[in-house]
């Protein structure tokens, strides 16, 4: 049975392939980027902190380069996309923040929806003309307790809840994938939109969380966590394996918190095509970006 479990050792030869990984200076993003360079890919680490990105890249084998990208600032997103030339095989929308205090991006968006969803929404649409293979967007199984308020994505008309805002952003990631795949299919494109979640991986994503929620994490969450190397496997599987567009990849183990990659089933809300279309329209209006036909059409 164990021999059938997919690991990074089974990555295909990625020579000649170009991959962008957002938030690749640490955690799952850095591990995924490192494994992809080891397999022969040219990987661009799209990071907010150049020094941290260069430190991560220095430990990688193969072609790793660092470029600045701040997903909480649409001017940075536009600058990154404008500087891209040539084909891009795979875009991995990995960067994210979790359960942070209420804050606003440079464009006035609530910080978690702005970073986790709207920044990646804009980046993907702006890079679509260069894409040849797929977009991988990293969500979380916490999307299952999330709700989307399309008319109040930025929490202006309701009391802010860090966990609620995070879960909304992760549900948005999956709805984005659903609608992006619909649009790609409608355009006759061979580019795929897929999603993944790492389970509960031991990273610094929630290291800042204190108080009651921090105590809950220490008592109940840590015992079911897996290391970041295993947490990166769903990302790598989604990025390199021949899976259908719209797929959602996650761990196969205990309540999907750890284990090896398998095709998972997102919540009913995450598969709601009407909600996905309404979220897309709202996101396009907020970011002033919209679907562009990929290069493979």
The per-residue DSSP string of 20-35 comes to EEETTTSHHHHHHHHH
Picking from 92, 96, 43, the residue whose alpha carbon sits closest to that of residue 72 is 96
For residue 158, pLDDT beyond 70: yes
42-47 and 63-68 as β-strands: parallel, antiparallel, unpaired? parallel
What amino acid positions are annotated as catalytic residues? 166
Query: What is the separation of C-alpha 69 from the centre of its chain, rounded to a whole number of angstroms?
Result: 14
What does the chain come to in residues? 297
Picking from 73, 67, 72, 63, the residue whose alpha carbon sits closest to that of residue 14 is 63
- Give residue 40's pLDDT band: very low, low, confident or very high (50, 70, 90): very high
> What global pTM score does this model have?
0.92
Tokens in use for 296? 């493979």
CATH number corresponding to 2-287 = 3.40.50.720
For residue 1, pLDDT beyond 80: no
Residues 235 and 138: beta-carbon distance below 8 Å: yes
Domain range summary for the chain, segments of one domain joined by +: 2-287
Average pLDDT for 138-143? 96
Render pLDDT for 41-83 as a digit per residue (tens, 0 to 9).
Answer: 999 999 999 999 999 999 999 999 999 999 999 999 999 999 9
Render pLDDT for 162-210 as a digit per residue (tens, 0 to 9).
Answer: 999 999 999 999 999 999 999 999 999 999 999 999 988 655 544 445 5
Residues 281 and 172: beta-carbon distance below 8 Å: no
Average pLDDT for 93-121? 98
Handedness of CA 149, 248, 91, 185 (dihedral sign): negative
């Amino acid at each position: 049975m164990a021999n059938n479990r997919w690991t990074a050792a089974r990555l295909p030869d990625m020579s000649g392939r170009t991959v962008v990984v957002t938030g690749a200076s640490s955690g799952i993003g850095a591990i995924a980027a490192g494994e992809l360079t080891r397999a022969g890919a040219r990987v661009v680490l799209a990071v907010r902190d150049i020094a941290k990105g260069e430190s991560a890249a220095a430990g990688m084998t193969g072609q790793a380069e660092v470029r600045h990208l701040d997903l909480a600032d649409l001017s940075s997103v536009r600058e990154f996309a404008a500087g891209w030339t040539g084909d891009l095989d795979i875009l991995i929308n990995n960067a994210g923040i979790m359960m942070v205090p209420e804050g606003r991006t440079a464009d006035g968006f609530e910080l978690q929806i702005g970073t986790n969803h709207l920044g990646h929404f804009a980046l993907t649409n702006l890079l679509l003309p260069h894409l040849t293979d797929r977009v991988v967007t990293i969500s979380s199984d916490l999307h299952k307790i999330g709700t989307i308020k399309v008319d109040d994505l930025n929490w202006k008309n309701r009391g802010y809840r860090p966990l609620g805002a995070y879960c909304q952003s992760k549900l948005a990631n999956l709805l984005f994938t659903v609608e992006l795949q619909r649009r790609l299919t409608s355009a006759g494109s061979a580019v795929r939109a897929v999603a993944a979640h790492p389970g509960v991986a031991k990273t610094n994503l929630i290291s800042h969380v204190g108080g009651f929620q921090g105590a809950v994490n220490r008592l109940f969450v840590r015992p079911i966590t897996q290391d970041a190397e295993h947490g990166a496997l769903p990302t790598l599987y989604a990025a390199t394996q021949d899976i259908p567009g719209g797929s959602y990849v996650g761990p196969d183990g205990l309540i999907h918190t750890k284990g090896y990659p398998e095709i998972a089933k997102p919540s009913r809300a995450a598969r709601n095509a009407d909600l996905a279309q309404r979220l897309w329209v709202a996101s396009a209006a907020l970011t002033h970006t919209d679907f562009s036909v990929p290069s493979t059409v």
